[in-house]
Amino acid sequence: MVDTEAYTIEDPDGNTETVDIPAGLVDTLAEQGEDSTTVVTDIVVQSLAQHAHSMVHHSEGEPPADLVEINEAVEDLFEDRFGMSLQDAMGHSH
């Protein structure tokens, strides 16, 4: 059995959740000298941005205005963090 490493996420209200990740996985995704917590948080931002994008641009019907605003905000955060737009990272315009 592979050993695991625990990462804990805390929300603004102080609630926490811990997730176990196979040991070494985060290191394989890291660039040289990059902290493991940076790798994990990059993946969290990327995943949330992709999910929000999908709900707004790839679901049937018109999305609620608040979801559109949330998507725009997370796309801005994605671009600030990674230096490219989410659309460029995903290889399409919407």
Residue extents of the structural domains in the chain = 4-90
In this prediction, residue 34 carries a pLDDT of 94
pTM of the full structure: 0.85
Asked if residues 39 and 29 have their Cβ atoms less than 8 Å apart, the reply is: yes
Length of the chain: 94
CA distance 41 to 20: 14
| Nearest of 27, 33, 30, 70 to residue 49 by alpha carbon | 70
Element (H, E) at 42: helix 36-57
The model's pLDDT over 79-93, given as tens digits with 9 standing for 90+, comes to: 999 999 998 998 875
Measuring CA to CA, which residue among 18, 78, 28 is closest to residue 49? 78
> For residue 92, what pLDDT is reported?
73
> How does pLDDT run across 33-86, given as a tens digit for each residue?
999 999 999 999 999 999 999 999 888 888 889 999 999 999 999 999 999 999
